[in-house]
Amino acid sequence: MELRDVILLLHPAIAVIIVFPLIGIVINRAFQVRQRRLETATEGKSKIPPVVGQEHVKLGRALTAAVVGIVLIGLAFGIYGNILEKQVWTKTPVKVILITLFFVAAIASLALLYKASDKMWRGIFATLSGIAIVVLGCQDGVYRQTNQWYISHYYYGVTVALLMIFSLAILPDIYKDKTNRWRTVHITLNSIAALMFIAQGITGSLALLEVPLSWQESYVNKLYEQQCQIKPCTIIQAPNMPKKP
């Protein structure tokens, strides 16, 4: 495999090794926290240790970083792959610099969001990080499937990243709000995010089949050119493709 192929597989590898195990642990801790709260309210005590709350928060913060990070890796692959393929740097270098600055802004804003304690600054950094991700997602080279948005790995991924950023921004308010309004918002948004993570697993598998490795690209492009995804067709093997053993 070429370096391009290794980078392409880095995105799903991180998802399988880091992100999805974290999701399972965070959801498990969330159920334990709720169960402990209910038992404490009705019985006055619970066998579930108090530390589960701290673990849920700590792992949730790690999950947000992992989700945003893996989204940025996926975007970077498509964007910079397009820049190198079409030599955008030589044609419009300012555009390439601006794109790079948006990646820096997304990472820096998220890092500052982790540090911010004031409500206003948390809102500012969360907004900046979200805007940077959306702007990067609109760049050439990103595999969006806009005509089939309902099965698009991109749209689910960006949406869940924004939900994670918002959940991180409101985290301190959950423990300050005595009306449990922010807790309800947190539970609702993360329930939606959990469903989207399931969709991510399904659409991600589909995307792996549709985004080819370098040695498959010429053949797959011919399939798309003849619209073989919607009608039966036959493609003659390209001369530069290796024959099957």
What pLDDT shows up at residue 40?
87
Dist CA 65 CA 83 (whole Å): 26
Mean pLDDT over residues 8-35, rounded? 92
> Rg (Cα) of the chain, in Å, rounded?
22
Task: Tell which wins on pLDDT, 30 or 1.
Answer: 30
Q: What is the pLDDT of residues 213-231, one digit of tens each?
A: 777 777 777 777 777 777 7
pLDDT digits (tens, 9 = 90+) for 113-154: 999 989 999 999 999 999 999 999 999 999 898 988 899 999
Q: Whole-prediction pTM value?
A: 0.86
Q: Give whole-number Cα distances, 147 to 61, 155, 173, 225, in Å.
A: 33, 11, 38, 16
Asked if residue 58 has pLDDT above 80, the reply is yes
Tell me what percent of the residues of the chain surpass a pLDDT of 90: 58
Residue 69 above 70 pLDDT?
Answer: yes
Burial of 118 (0-12, 13-18, 19+ CB in 10 A): exposed
Tens of pLDDT, residues 147-192: 888 999 999 999 999 999 999 999 999 888 888 899 899 999 999 9
Helices marked H in the chain — which ranges?
3-14, 20-43, 51-85, 88-91, 93-115, 119-137, 153-176, 181-210, 217-225
Report the pLDDT value the prediction gives residue 244, as an integer from 0 to 100: 47
